[in-house]
């Protein structure tokens, strides 16, 4: 059953909404794909912009789909949603009997519905089983990763995805606990362990466990895998002149979006000394954001979760423009 609307902790605000609408230009009408529909905030604004606009939404999380379907029910058949990974964008479009979208949006990361639902295990603000799966019916929960992975792999995940300088010490303590027959299974156990391993104390106003929790979530949901291929697939599906907008919250995600958009605008991304290009650069888009668009102070004040958001956008070239 759908969660009651408004039943989540913090009011949900779609990130960089004005900027997203500027680049997608949904007032033209037509078909838009929201690859991470979440609570349906961006989708709702797209649908409100014109009576001729349709949205196909997708999300991994069945709870997000329940929520957004209920929220967007007033739009009738103009909104349809599918449970799918955005890497399956082409299959979803064909299942929906649609083609040639005018715009594709991906708003990466975790939703407030996930973050504010104690039992999902995404947040150390609540004590709960350490799960963190966006699709709770598939894959292994975070506690299983901490129980099964070698210490070096746990340290790598926390270092790479969390940019946590105490990653080795945290991984050591996780493995010590499991060797003592007391594996880390809850959010509170992990948060306390990180506090102990890092000596507590907030860095840059961020709780010491934030980076470790972010890193684990990225690993549990394989969030970076196939992101570049997805951008290329999305661009290939767009109608000529169609727009792609990507919003990211992590430097590694932003780097993938940046490099992929550059590659698709014809700029080779191979390492400098490579004698021939192997990255497959081709000129099919015009990049619309030379630098990433970031939220202003006011948006960050109103919605602190927006603080690390970066938006990049491109326009698919028509055949005459490809040169």
Ligand X SMILES: C[S@@+](CC[C@H](N)C(=O)[O-])C[C@H]1O[C@@H](n2cnc3c(N)ncnc32)[C@H](O)[C@@H]1O
Q: Of the two residues 75 and 198, which places its CB atom closer to ligand X in the complex?
A: 75
Please select the residue that binds ligand X; options are 26, 101, 103, 109, rule is CB under 6 A.
109
Pair 289, 265: CB distance under 8 Å: no
Q: Residues 8-47: x/- map of binding to ligand X (CB under 6 A)?
A: ----x-x---------------------x-xxxxx-----
Please select the residue that binds ligand X; options are 24, 55, 107, 215, rule is CB under 6 A.
107
**In angstroms, rounded to a whole number, what is the distance separating the alpha carbons of residues 198 and 119?**
26
Nearest CA-CA partner of 241 in 292, 304, 294, 288: 288
Pair 184, 146: CB distance under 8 Å: yes
Pair 151, 140: CB distance under 8 Å: no
Instruction: Give the range of 52-60, 73-81, 167-175, 185-193 binding ligand X by CB under 6 A.
Output: 52-60
Residue 317 exposure: Cα atoms within 13 Å on the Cβ side: 15
CB of 240 to ligand X, least distance (A): 26
| Interacting residues with ligand X between 63 and 92 (CB under 6 A) | 64, 85-86
Q: How many residues bind ligand X (CB under 6 A)?
A: 19
Reduced to 3 states (helix: H, G, I; strand: E, B; else coil), residue 244 is strand
Please select the residue that binds ligand X; options are 21, 46, 58, 235, rule is CB under 6 A.
58
Please select the residue that binds ligand X; options are 61, 131, 260, 299, rule is CB under 6 A.
61
Pair 85, 54: CB distance under 8 Å: no
Q: How far is CA 170 from its chain centroid?
A: 25
Residues in contact with ligand X by CB under 6 A are 12, 14, 36, 38-42, 58-61, 64, 85-86, 107, 109, 111, 134
């Amino acid at each position: 059953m759908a969660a009651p609307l408004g039943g989540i902790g913090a009011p949900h605000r779609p990130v960089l909404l004005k900027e997203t609408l500027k680049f997608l230009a949904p007032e033209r009408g037509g078909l838009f794909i929201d690859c991470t529909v979440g609570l349906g905030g961006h989708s709702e604004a797209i649908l409100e912009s014109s009576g001729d606009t349709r949205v196909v939404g997708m999300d991994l999380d069945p709870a997000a789909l329940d929520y957004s379907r209920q929220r967007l029910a007033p739009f009738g058949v103009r909104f349809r949603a599918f449970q799918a990974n955005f890497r399956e964008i082409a299959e979803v479009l064909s299942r929906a009997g649609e083609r040639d979208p005018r715009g594709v949006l991906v708003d990466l990361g975790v939703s407030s519905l996930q973050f504010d639902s104690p039992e999902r295990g995404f947040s150390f603000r609540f004590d709960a089983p350490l799960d963190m799966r966006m699709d709770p019916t598939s894959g292994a929960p975070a506690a299983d990763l901490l129980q099964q992975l070698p210490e070096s792999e746990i340290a790598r995940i926390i270092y790479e995805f969390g940019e946590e300088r105490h990653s080795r010490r945290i991984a050591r303590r996780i493995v010590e606990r499991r060797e003592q027959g007391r594996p880390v299974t809850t959010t509170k156990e992990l948060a306390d362990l990180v506090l102990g391993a890092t000596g507590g104390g907030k860095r840059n106003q961020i709780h010491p466990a934030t980076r470790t929790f972010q890193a684990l979530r990225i690993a549990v949901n394989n969030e970076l895998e196939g992101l570049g291929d997805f951008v290329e697939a999305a661009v290939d599906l767009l109608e000529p002149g169609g727009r792609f907008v990507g919003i990211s919250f992590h430097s590694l995600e932003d780097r993938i979006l940046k490099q992929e958009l550059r590659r698709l605008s014809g700029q080779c991304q191979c390492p400098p000394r490579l004698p021939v290009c192997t990255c497959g650069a081709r000129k099919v888009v015009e990049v619309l954001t030379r630098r990433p668009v970031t939220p202003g102070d006011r948006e960050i004040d109103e919605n602190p979760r927006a603080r690390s958001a970066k938006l990049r956008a491109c326009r698919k070239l028509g055949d005459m423009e490809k040169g």
